[in-house]
Amino acid sequence: MTPEPQRLQYLEAMGLTAWVARYRLPNALPTPEAEWAAPDPEAATASPPGERLHALLDEAAQARDAAPREAPAEPEPPQRAPAGPGKARALLGDIVPAIEAEAAAESEAARPVQRAGEALRFTLQVACLDGRWLILLPREASPGAIETRLLRHLLQAAGVVPEQMPAFEAFRWPQVEGLPVEAPLEEAREGLQAFLAGRARRGWVPERLLVFGEDAVLDELLGVVEAHCPLLALPAWQGPALETLAGSAEAKRALWPRIRDWRSAWEAGHAPG
């Protein structure tokens, strides 16, 4: 494999720029740190890229010819280094596919970005009961004191008693404005999955999904069908919004038959495996 400094030298001689990510994408792992030599403006303008590349190829050929070789059993006719593109391929070896791939990537980058659509826009309030039951609220603001107390009472009435009530945090999409959008729905789903994967470091291991409230974008995002969320691979329940329940006694009464099985589900999660 061609060493990294030599690869960069060949790319510079061909007039190709090595690109490095400047900003960290949301929820992405940090890029490993590395030392990058600053380009020499005088060397870049001393000669055209083609001349510099052929000079490097000639140096590589001379170094190869000067290396000691075993004496052949029979005299071999002298071989000349291939000329033109063949010469470059022969001397660069395994660097050629990488150079061609990077050249193709730069050609694609030079084209105007084609937007397939606008990003989905939504805000979720997210919490996780004891790291086990994921709660989503499709709303801009976190629940107030009355709605938080109502949620606690609903859980207690259903036999779900977490060690402590979790704080809600907001997840907004898109997280970065102005980025090109190719597949709005898929990108939003991947963003939510990445957000939850990051919370796994806090001990979130969701077993079940509870959604309080209805929202067209959220419904399309989660795709809940027959009490199952395929996006998160979790059993799912969806009911009225907390603000609706807080203002309607009838909505509370209608909710009770739908949450009777929560106790068994919560206790089953605590049962030894």
Task: Indicate the average pLDDT of the chain.
Answer: 78
Amino acid residing at 213: G
pLDDT for residue 165:
92
> In the predicted model, what is the mean pLDDT of residues 235-255?
94
Residue 23 has pLDDT above 50, yes or no: yes
d(CA 144, CA 28): 32
pLDDT for the residue 269? 80
- 93: tokens are 């070896």
Q: Enter the DSSP assignment of 257.
A: G
Cα gap 263→161, rounded to integer Å: 9
Q: Which of 81-85, 170-174, 248-252 has the lowest mean pLDDT?
A: 81-85
| pLDDT reported for residue 88 | 43
Please tell me the distance from the alpha carbon of residue 231 to that of residue 170, in angstroms, as a whole number. 19
Closest CA to 157 of 246, 241, 263, 236: 263
pLDDT at 113: 38
- Which residue, among 163, 188, 171, 157, has the nearest Cα to 127 in the 3D structure? 171
Beta-carbon contacts of residue 129 (< 8 Å; ≥ 6 apart): 135, 155, 160, 162, 165, 166
User: pLDDT over 70 for what percent of the chain?
Assistant: 59
Contact 15, 43 (CB under 8 A): no
Q: Which residue type sits at 10? A: Y
> 3-class SS at 162?
coil
Task: Compute the distance between CA of residue 238 and CA of residue 222 in angstroms, rounded to an integer.
Answer: 11
**Distance of alpha carbon 103 from the chain centroid:** 24
pTM for this model (two decimals): 0.58
Q: How many helices (H) and strands (E) does the chain have?
A: 11, 6
What is the per-residue pLDDT across 25-80, written as a single tens digit (0 to 9) for each? 777 777 666 555 565 555 545 566 556 666 666 776 676 666 665 555 555 555 55
Shortest CA distance to 127 belongs to which of 209, 197, 188?
209
Residue 16 has pLDDT above 70, yes or no: no
Q: Give pLDDT, residue 90.
A: 46
Please indicate whether residue 58 or residue 191 has the higher confidence score (pLDDT). 191
Q: What residue segments make up the domains of the chain, in order of their start?
A: 4-110, 122-270
pLDDT tens column, 144-163: 999 999 999 999 999 999 99
